[in-house]
Amino acid sequence: MEKLVVHGGTRLTGEVEISGAKNAALPILLASILADSPVLIHNVPRLQDVETSLELLGELGIPHVREDASSYRISPPKEHGHVAPYELVKTMRASILVLGPLLGKCGHAEVSLPGGCAIGARPVNLHIEGMRQMGAEIVVENGYIKARSNGRLRGAHILMDTVSVTGTENLMMAAVLAEGETVIENAAREPEIIDLARFLNTLGADVRHAGSDTIHIHGVDRLHGGEYRVLPDRIETGTFLVAALATQGHIRCTHTQPDFLDAVLKKLTEAGAEIIRGQDWIELKSHGRPKAVNIVTAPHPAFPTDMQAQFIALNSIATGTGVVRETIFENRFMHVPELRRMGAHIDLEGNTAISTGVERLTGAQVMCTDLRASASLVIAGMVAEGITEVERVYHIDRGYEAIERKLGNLGAQIERAQMCPTRIKRTQD
Ligand SMILES: CC(=O)N[C@H]1[C@@H](OP(=O)(O)OP(=O)(O)OC[C@H]2O[C@@H](n3ccc(=O)[nH]c3=O)[C@H](O)[C@@H]2O)O[C@H](CO)[C@@H](O)[C@@H]1O
Ligand SMILES: C=C(OP(=O)(O)O)C(=O)O
């Protein structure tokens, strides 16, 4: 098991190229299952979750080759497997996204239930209910969702009780080959939903109004092959910008899409950053110590839960008090006890974290519990006095491409090292 050793006290300066978005690349890779000829996908980030998705495609008997550093060609055969096993699904919740494509294309699918994770229970009832409305027979037994349809799925009018990103994506993917029209109401409006719709439409699907809360999908007989470029990662962009402000630095993120970051850029400005945005870049200049900000997480276009942990790290060293309310996941404050070990003053009251900024954090051994919590600890480590050892770094590798190299190019001092065996044993206990 590896850890990141972060030497604090550096100021981030320079330019960083943003990778393709994890949360767009994963559904797009898995949506390729629906095509009847090869699909070439560009700007796929080098991440553990991408590796897991490719492994899942391999497990289903769907060949894929890497064409260059960030492009993959996926060649779905007419007939292939339909089982997504526990061993793969347990390492990546987004594996649930094979359910819609497999059911829509093959008429049957068996997908292991993903189960809960550090940030919350994360049920998939809305995915299942929506597909049942489209005519699928679904049972959950032995830890698997077993779904079958008698012929093609049928278009349906689906009102989702809660806004769900992967729920909306799964239903969109199930609906593209269904008979007739599907309407998804109370759909998620995240940019990654728009990207998936554009990808599906590139293959000949008819998905309209993605990005609004009511998506219309007219089923078509087949999806052909095609070529597509995944959109830039808004969460990676936001993470680098927060890191720059926390270290009182000056950076430019290139190859990104500023339009999708409005809520985050507004909070960075409130925190004292000077933000300059171009067509595909964002520059952040710091003017002294940041100011703490209040945040409420909510579905897009509001403030993203995936940026909450990074802003709590920022509030920890800012002037004043910042109140952060998490409304999406019931247990997404696992970074707080770790930040406290570094000297942060944070009170937790239910779903609210109240941080009173301190002038200095001090380096400590801390443990990653989930992807964005890990990012917040790395940010805190760069600001802290001394050395911070961020353990269980596999969480960060799920969602950040070459994190220590990219931060290193901006002046951070971060090395990857092996955890010593006795320490691994102790943290696993
Ligand atoms: C791969 C991917 O894109 N992951 C993102 C996706 O996760 P994911 O799609 O899993 O998150 P959802 O949008 O589904 O979750 C939102 C809320 O709905 C609840 N819910 C969801 C589905 C369901 O069937 N029943 C139900 O009750 C969840 O428990 C949660 O409280 O959106 C989250 C919220 O923006 C992000 O943090 C994740 O980074
Ligand atoms: C929670 C996240 O991802 P996932 O849904 O893949 O767990 C995330 O990207 O912050």
Check whether residue 206 and residue 243 sit in a common domain. Answer: no
Q: Of 229, 262, 283, which one is at a domain's C-terminal end?
A: 229
Average pLDDT over residues 191-203: 98
pTM over 0.80: yes
Check whether residue 197 and residue 328 sit in a common domain. Answer: no
Number of domains in the chain: 2
- The reported pLDDT for the residue numbered 222 is 97
Taking only the tens place, the pLDDT of each residue in 51-77 is 999 999 999 999 999 999 999 999 999
Q: What strands, in cross-sheet order, belong to the sheet with 181-185?
A: 157-159, 181-185, 214-218, 206-208
Domain of 222: which CATH number?
3.65.10.10
Average pLDDT over residues 125-129: 98
Report the distance separating Cα 317 and Cα 143, nearest Å.
Answer: 44
Please indicate, yes or no, if residue 284 is contained in any of the structural domains: yes
Among candidate residues 117, 253, 368, 420, the one labeled active-site is: 117
Taking only the tens place, the pLDDT of each residue in 149-159 is 999 999 999 99
Dihedrals φ, ψ of 392, to 5°?
60, 55
Ligand 1 neighbourhood includes 145 CB (under 6 angstroms): no
- The reported pLDDT for the residue numbered 1 is 86
Check whether residue 215 and residue 341 sit in a common domain. Answer: no
Whether 429 shows a pLDDT value over 50: the answer reads no
Check whether residue 202 and residue 297 sit in a common domain. Answer: no
Taking only the tens place, the pLDDT of each residue in 12-38 is 999 999 999 999 999 999 999 999 999
Check whether residue 181 and residue 328 sit in a common domain. Answer: no
Check whether residue 236 and residue 119 sit in a common domain. Answer: no
Cβ-Cβ contacts under 8 Å for 390 (sequence gap 6 or more):
3, 4, 5, 6, 366, 367, 368, 374, 377, 378, 381, 396
Mean pLDDT of the chain: 96
Check whether residue 246 and residue 223 sit in a common domain. Answer: no
- The reported pLDDT for the residue numbered 421 is 66
Q: Of 193, 214, 229, which one is at a domain's C-terminal end?
A: 229
Closest alpha carbon to 155 in 180, 137, 172, 174:
180
Place of tokens 């979750």: 49
Helix axes 99-106, 125-133, angle to 10 degrees: 20
Whether 9 shows a pLDDT value over 80: the answer reads yes
Ligand nearest to the CA of 305: 1
Whether 202 shows a pLDDT value over 80: the answer reads yes
| Cα of 302 from ligand 2 centre, angstroms | 17
**What ipTM was reported for this prediction?**
0.99
Q: Whose CA is nearest to atom 23 of ligand 1?
A: 124
Asked whether residue 23 is marked as a ligand-binding residue, the answer is: yes
Check whether residue 71 and residue 175 sit in a common domain. Answer: yes
Residues with CB under 6 A from ligand 2: 23, 93-94, 306, 371-372, 399
Report the distance separating Cα 126 and Cα 257, nearest Å.
Answer: 30
Please indicate, yes or no, if residue 427 is contained in any of the structural domains: no
The three-state secondary structure class of 301 is: coil
Q: What strands, in cross-sheet order, belong to the sheet with 226-229?
A: 64-68, 71-74, 39-42, 226-229
Q: Which two tokens stand for residue 34?
A: 């629906």
- The reported pLDDT for the residue numbered 424 is 52
Whether 374 shows a pLDDT value over 80: the answer reads yes
Name 296's bridge partners.
325
Pocket perturbation via mutation, ligand 1, pick of 158, 164, 233 by most ligand atoms within 8 A of CB: 164
Q: Is 117 a catalytic residue?
A: yes
Taking only the tens place, the pLDDT of each residue in 244-286 is 999 999 999 999 999 999 999 999 999 999 999 999 999 999 9
Please indicate, yes or no, if residue 429 is contained in any of the structural domains: no
Residue 329 alpha carbon, nearest atom of ligand 2? 1
Residue 300 alpha carbon, nearest atom of ligand 1? 35
Taking only the tens place, the pLDDT of each residue in 128-184 is 999 999 999 999 999 999 999 999 999 999 999 999 999 999 999 999 999 999 999
**DSSP-H helix ranges across 247-370:** 262-270, 308-316, 335-341
Please indicate, yes or no, if residue 288 is contained in any of the structural domains: yes
Pocket perturbation via mutation, ligand 2, pick of 303, 398, 401, 403 by most ligand atoms within 8 A of CB: 398
Domain that holds residue 411: 2-18+232-418
Confidence of residue 422 (pLDDT cuts 50, 70, 90): low
